[in-house]
Structure 1
């Protein structure tokens, strides 16, 4: 399949590799963007945005990129840290007194951003019916007891991360967190990254398809088996109570959902542009960026059930686990989303990379399609 878009001559092999992805008849559509500094060297798209294969993918097609948005929330919080209205090491309860319930009185913003807060999941009963009600979820989260002493273990805050950081932004800035991100990050930089898609843009949203026969790496297989068989496991609760699923990608409530840690609809160009702006100093200072990408936690994550390294709201290169490697330099940082989308940067070489797809794979961490493209990009720079 021939891709549309731009690709400078030095990256022609990447275009060929991207096009080769669509030799698999299960592949529906996707996009790829690579920037070096502020120069866009690759911005490609191919395939269809519907399940029937009748609606071509366009440059402005929006993809459900799930948790790829977490660093946006982190940078928004760090902007407020730079303004002096938030602090990393003051308890969350200082800004949100009700949050102190259930042993959460010592949890700090740093704990939340580094996934060591001890509040990565909500216990039963079923929270899915209230998922789209911000106030109800905030009240539920405020009353939830910790799973462990803050700062002692890693546990990925699948959805809790977005509600906690979002509520801190709302309480200290006054704006809805997704409005803050739009007004301070995406709109000024012309980024096609939507935290709550407006109804006139619904037609641009691509539909997800779950590919068959993709088993994932051993860590992913173990995680999926646990989630499928143990409804009370902390990983199951983190991913399902309430739940994220490609099945939600056809629900208008999900399209409009404003959750700054779990729901985003984007183009590859928009996501790569975020990291390009970040590296160029247009969002936070160099000093704050250094802290953002500095290792804050490292160990076995109780939610992912695999070794993880985190900065302040971003995933860091994990060279001990080849299935979680960005396949670039040792100092890469970014984030994945459910089913295959990813965006990250290599600060040493000034590369910003994003791959988006609607053909969901089975790798819980970095999809092999993205890994292959990233390795080729790194070799070309």
Structure 2
């Protein structure tokens, strides 16, 4: 890793010293090799515990990209057509005019059920079977495919249940057997274990504004789950399986996931053929929304300045400033994880500095 590892290590330490970050990890793969695995700062300000290479960070919607990859892996194995109606896998999903909703609609956030069901709370969100049935019972707010609106949490059970229905394994089994084992990684959880609990970073969100989450009306992120940092600091959220929102992992694990999706893969592993990845990362546009930059389960480059303007770059950002993405043109995969949610966060500057040092400025 050499000079760039030392430079980025010092850059992270500087961001912490300036108070822009509390605890951070940065990992990057370039041309199939790990070139940066750096960390700095405090994992838990209550105890003073420092971040190290074993620290696990809650990364919120970064999890969506990994869940999408899981479905693409199974689609490749079972030769699934993304235009297959979900009801062919999950018959109960067809209730209340959802029978025409396809796998493509679900991955592209055009399924029409972005808002959480009414009458549930934090305990119910952690109950897979309850949420699966609640989601199946929703009525779409528009005809599937007509409109794109971010399915912030409902994505969990739409995509997650399809994964489970494909071959009968649980979501966690598929995650382990189809992603973690082939990649040789262990520090990636959607529902942590008892052994992992002491390693999870404590989140802080000093600028949280409850007015951003009204207490009434249809909501994709309901007020009762906020502040989100406080929710993910709780045992209930950490141990649940909520594939859109509650991934807990190291930056290195997230970066390797994307590195192994790029041409040539990383460390001898290419998780999917590039024909599949080109389909999965092609821009999906609804008839009325040409300003959206989404593939099938992934955000595309122009969505987030940390990924850069290239349409071929794909990944997913998470609430609070974490991100993981891959750039197939440059064979670069990057992940940034953090525990201070602040408008002064340094993620964009960190990624830009990394690209600058590699001579890959956008």
**TM-score (structure 2 length as normaliser):** 0.89
2:192, 2:134 → 1: CA distance?
A: 25
1:117, 1:264 → 2: CA distance?
A: 23
Q: Say if 1:247 and 1:307 are closer, same or farther in 2 by CA, change over 3 A.
A: farther
User: How far is the alpha carbon of 1:69 from its aligned partner?
Assistant: 1.3
Whether 2:216 is the aligned partner of 1:231: answer: yes
CA contact 2:191–2:247 (8 Å) conserved in 1:
yes
What's 1:355 paired with? 336
1:196, 1:123 → 2: CA distance?
A: 22
1:84, 1:330 → 2: CA distance?
A: 28
Q: Which runs of 5+ in 2 are unaligned?
A: none
The superposition leaves residues 139-182 of structure 1 with CA deviations (integer Å, 9 ceiling, x where unpaired) of 11111100111111111111111201111111121011122011
Partner SS for 2:220 = helix
What's 2:81 paired with? 87
Q: Say if 1:72 and 1:26 are closer, same or farther in 2 by CA, change over 3 A.
A: closer
What's 1:317 paired with? 301
Partner SS for 2:155 = helix
2:32, 2:115 → 1: CA distance?
A: 38
CA contact 1:298–1:310 (8 Å) conserved in 2:
no
Q: Which runs of 5+ in 1 are unaligned?
A: 1-6, 215-223
Q: Say if 1:328 and 1:146 are closer, same or farther in 2 by CA, change over 3 A.
A: closer
User: How far is the alpha carbon of 1:259 from its aligned partner?
Assistant: 1.9
Matches within 5 A, 1:44-193: 44-52=38-46, 54-84=48-78, 86-191=80-185, 192-193=187-188
Q: Say if 1:113 and 1:95 are closer, same or farther in 2 by CA, change over 3 A.
A: same
What's 2:16 paired with? 22
1:380, 1:27 → 2: CA distance?
A: 21
Partner SS for 1:199 = coil
Q: Say if 1:259 and 1:330 are closer, same or farther in 2 by CA, change over 3 A.
A: same
Partner SS for 1:31 = strand
Q: Say if 1:241 and 1:289 are closer, same or farther in 2 by CA, change over 3 A.
A: farther
1:241, 1:173 → 2: CA distance?
A: 35
Partner SS for 1:210 = coil
Deviates more, 1:123-132 or 1:371-380: 123-132
User: How far is the alpha carbon of 1:241 from its aligned partner?
Assistant: 6.9
The equivalent position to 1:200 in structure 2, one of 195, 201, 207, is: 195
1:26, 1:377 → 2: CA distance?
A: 17
User: How far is the alpha carbon of 1:119 from its aligned partner?
Assistant: 1.1
1:15, 1:210 → 2: CA distance?
A: 24
CA contact 1:11–1:377 (8 Å) conserved in 2:
no
Q: Say if 1:230 and 1:134 are closer, same or farther in 2 by CA, change over 3 A.
A: closer
What's 2:245 paired with? 262
Q: RMSD over aligned Cα, in angstroms?
A: 2.5
1:10, 1:328 → 2: CA distance?
A: 23
CA contact 1:126–1:241 (8 Å) conserved in 2:
no
User: How far is the alpha carbon of 1:193 from its aligned partner?
Assistant: 1.1
User: How far is the alpha carbon of 1:44 from its aligned partner?
Assistant: 0.5
The superposition leaves residues 4-50 of structure 1 with CA deviations (integer Å, 9 ceiling, x where unpaired) of xxx52146543333222112347321101111022111111111111
Partner SS for 1:115 = coil
1:299, 1:252 → 2: CA distance?
A: 42
